[in-house]
Structure 1
Amino acid sequence: MKRTLCFMLIMGLLLGAPGCAYMYYLGLHAPSIKRYAQIHEGVTRDRECLDCHHPDRNPAGPPTPHPGLSGCLKCHNDELKSPAS
């Protein structure tokens, strides 16, 4: 019982602690900027993302909870999936 609980706790920390940047590799992507294509047209660098979403800069868009991470477009530039019919 203790061994199983310890294993589950360690696995939870290993999978949950790294955050958004590593969730990309697991296929758990964040909301895509392609959902709002007109607003994000021409965005190609992380710096452009943080210009509008950095919480300390009076963001025009929703503030990011992780402004120190890099790789914004790795997590937020997925193709949109059409709803299953």
Structure 2
Amino acid sequence: MTTSGPDPLKDALALQARVRGLQALLELQLWQIELLNNRLYSHEPGGIAARRLLAIKRRESDRDGFKVPKGVNDP
């Protein structure tokens, strides 16, 4: 007579497979972050210029995003 209850070995193997999959995803994301970080914060002159350009664009977008509201009686 067999009982159809939870199978701990099957559950453990499924959990192990999910953990491996998540570890692979984390490694991929770490690689992507390192790649982007190296592009944005390069020590080469091109990387420095890219950082400066990005900072200028951010300042421009911040400045354009804030507008003083006009009052009803303002010309």
TM-score normalised by length of structure 1: 0.31
With the length of structure 2 as denominator, give the TM-score of the two structures. Answer: 0.34
Structure number with greater Rg is: 2
Q: Which has the higher contact order (CA 8 A, sep 6+)?
A: 1
